[in-house]
A and B are shown apart, each in its own frame.
Chain A
Amino acid sequence: MSGQVNPSVWRAPALSWRWWPVFRRNWLVWKKLAIPSLVGNIAEPLMWLVAFGYGMGALVGKVTVDGVQVPYILFLASGSICMSAMNAASFEALYSAFSRMHVQKTWDGIMNAPVNLDDIVMAEMLWAAFKSVFTVTAILGVMLALGISYSPKLLVAWPVLLGVGITFSCVALIFNALAKGYDFFTYYFTLFLTPMMFLSGIFFPLEQLPAVVRDISQWLPLTNAVALVRPLFMDQWPVDWLRPVTVLTLYAVGGFWVALALTRKRFRA
């Protein structure tokens, strides 16, 4: 009898339009809870912004970015919106995706229909990115209302932040694939995301960091996200945009690939 070779989990993603009904499924659930979840999603980042921006801002005054003096609240807002994109995407791709994958067995149900695992992972990735854009949009609206920045280049910042959401969704799905329970995600947040928050030039300029740490920081996805978004808030084009775009793309593509491989492994029983 013909022996069958179990295909490698590292094979290329087999993607099709079939991710779309899975994305719509998440959309339909979320629609029922959108307003309360919106409050939760934007309340915390705004508290940070107001407390730190106005409180610390009064002490700090202006901050120098690439030789330009900007108010601290602008400095902070342009960084913290990247952090919000990161947190929203990570939260959705970890806790929520894990609930659907492991607790509710929603993915198992979907895979009995003509939808393969690759499309489900793709849908979850895009869904988490969408959730992060939704949060970002709401926060941007409040920032406009507060008059923090009126830069027309915010229109460009918006798709850039979608890219940031995609990047962090992809990376988070790796940890989703590895998780045995919700507790596991605490490690990801406290050992990876929280330190990154402080090392990516969100609260204070990178120049404050020791040289070694600064070198490491240059390779963190959040640092590269801030490098793209902050100039746009200042109504400037990022001078060196190619490097951060490349780093973020590498994290996104590499992250998705690894996440998919590990998820395939998880489901290969």
Chain B
Amino acid sequence: MGGCKGCAEAAPPAAQPRDRRAHVTAVVGPPNSGKSTLFNRLTGLRQKVANFPGVTVEQRVGRAQLEGGRELLLVDLPGIYSLEPHSEDERVTRDVLFGRMHDIARPDSILLVLDATNLGRHLVLAAPILSLGIPTLVVLNMADDLRARGGSVDVEALSRQLGAPVALVSSTTGENFEAVTRFLLSRPPAPAPVELPVLQDVPKCRAWAADIGSRASYRPPAPSLWTQRLDALFLHPVWGPLVFGAVIVAVFQTIFTGAKPLMHLVQGLVGTSGDLIATYLPESPIRSLIVDGVWGGVGAVVVFLPQILLLFLFIGILEDSGYLARAALIADRTMAKIGLQGKSFIPLLSAYACAVPAILATRTIENKRDRIATILIAPFMTCSARLPVYTLIIAAFIPHRPLLGPLLGTQAAAMLGLYLLGFLAAVATARLLKSSILKSERSPFVLEMPPYRRPTLRSLGLRLLDRAKVFLRRAGLVILPAAVILWCLAHFPLMDGKVPPIEQSLAGTLGRTVEPLIEPLGFNWKIGIGLITSLAAREVIVGTLGTIYGIEGDAHSTGLQKALQKDLTPAGAVALLVFFAFAMQCMSTIAVVRRETASWRWPLLQFLYMGLLAYAGAFTTYRLLTGWLR
């Protein structure tokens, strides 16, 4: 959660009454000092590591298991430059450190993580942190990098100057991590630095840091040659944008074609296990509920897990390698044209995976109006929940043919077109918002360029595991209930003690009720049922259609695609794609927008705006295409 405004002046809470309260250790450091990698290594828990300043927007809590069965609570906090917050995520860190956060006690100790290759600047943060009076271990991270590039530092001397223990470690290799665990196991005293500067005076603080650095005979390493070489390519006036474009196309082509074998595998597993369950259960309505409702409904969505994980893998590599910051730099000019700035580009890019983390990531944007505008346009970006819907309809209605040689097929091109459509809607909406209700002065764009780093398998693996868990939990909490409710609606009311034909069921009645409203878009009542259930989450429509056709006995023999071809005209199919590109069918997003903007006004406005746009867009598409395709 964001900073708590109401309790900003409250006194730090006393230690919790329960005496067995776990010892809390906060992991603090400037952006890009490798806090999250260190956190990952200590807890082995899910954690987002990124090479981009300010990506860790929620404080993550994990448990570190130490020798002797002792357990510690570790909190990974958003990166800060000082204790003067400029954005929402920096406020979170300050509030936790001051003990002003509701659900977390004031930390008992701190791991201050600094980049050993950039100590001149990172040491500045030691002043405000040590002045908190909380036992602190100063962790100089990236020891391997420092050595490789010819830098050095006298750890003992630095420790004497700071009056706190110092450990030179590497989070990527695990070098000298014993020093960290030893600190966590001990009950160290509060730091006693030789002297501290006046914290409000930034130049004095920097002079202090420089002085401490020279007393500890700090020799900064040579600039990273790789970073310079790669920047010469990625920020080149001609090659830079070309590489940018090539990266995007390669990502989409791979998700669409590369994921296929894996998806077939999962599909096979879901099918076989469903059949297996069916053989063990006696013929009854319960068997139908489990096999058709639960297995069919959830299975239809789980099939897309490989595709979604592949997308997250790409975003993870781009983020962890440091390329994303360069992409933000390239995008800044374009973003400025629509009234936003390069920093909005990062949340918008993660919105391609899911709008919920994207909306949380907007906390790094300092300007409040820019932040709200970014939140409002983020759901237009083609999130992974749209993929199952797009994939199904495209595969059913667009013939697979090469378009640009082997590089780009018609189906991938259609997919790319839909991504572009969402992007254009976002751009147009941003312009609209920034020239009307969210007009503001241009805020300064300041972005730190992290050095390029090789993404570690550990952090990518943890990230994918995390995503898979979120996806499956969602399948269990949103998609499963939706599938069960739909199954019930499709099987009742019983007629003469028998399951009614789908038209006569409750679901059918519901679909027929909305049919007049959606008929102008080229959708019939079956699609109508899908549109209703997809208000919970977009991908639910796939399971819903599976259930509807499953009841008709079509799903297994001819497949969902063939069944759809009977019910939708090509024009209606394109209209449906357009509808899904624009509509805000996601309860999780609505909830998170409500939470982050602290009012119902914005999510309501967003829902209505996107819904109207979806309706108008689908209507226009259907009208134009029906005339044209004939």
A, B co-complexed: no
| Residues on A facing B (Cβ under 8 Å) | none
Taking beta carbons and an 8 Å cutoff, which residues of B are in contact with A?
A: none
